[in-house]
Amino acid sequence: MKLLRWGLVPFFTKSIADLKGLSTINARGETVATSRTYREPFKRRRCLIPASGFYEWKRIDPKNKQPYAFDLSNGNMMAFAGLRGAWKDPANNKWLQSFAIITTEANEVMTPIHDRMPVILHPGDFDRWLSRDETDRPPIDLLRPFPSEEMERFEVSRDVGNVRNNSAELLNSK
């Protein structure tokens, strides 16, 4: 059985313990081509991460945040630009598959809530993103904010922030 982990495990990692305190769930699009952690996966191991939408929280005051849901205006699924990796744990000789989502600056829909957003790719760009033929010139130009006019956001229940809650009602505003 292959394990899948959100948070790219860099190829140079000696032990999972080396990752304590290091967050590799998101890779900044502005530095992905030069970062030691993400440079090689960006050249050779790009992937698509399917999603029906995503959440982000707006800080209202030091103790309160309001969650918002973001999705495509046309109701279709979206695909985030991602990086994948495979790392062999020397302790047990097992492979661990991992991935990270690439982020970029926020578009106009996202800006009132947060200054970053996932890179959302248009379906017409999927093949180019996944192509291994462009290792000398990876598609860095695709790492841009998704057009605001093709997205929507709406306030959702604050119960979204609790992993014990899992129902369609979470998408309702309270």
Give tens-digit pLDDT for 78-89. 999 999 998 888
Question: pLDDT at position 78, please?
Answer: 98
Task: Kindly list the structural domains of the chain, giving each domain's residue range(s) and its CATH number in brackets, ordered by start.
Answer: 3-171 (3.90.1680.10)
Output the 3-class SS for the chain.
Answer: CCEEEECCCCCCCCCHHHHCCCCCCEEECCCCCCCCCCHHHHHHCEEEEEECCEEEEEEEECCEEEEEEEEECCCCCEEEEEEEEEEEECCCCEEEEEEEEEEEECCCCCCCCCCEEECEECHHHHHHHHCCCCCCCCCHHHCCCCCHHHEEEEECCHHHHCCCCCCHHHHCCC
Low-confidence ranges of the chain (pLDDT < 70): 1-3, 21, 134-136, 172-174
Residue 58: the pLDDT is: 95
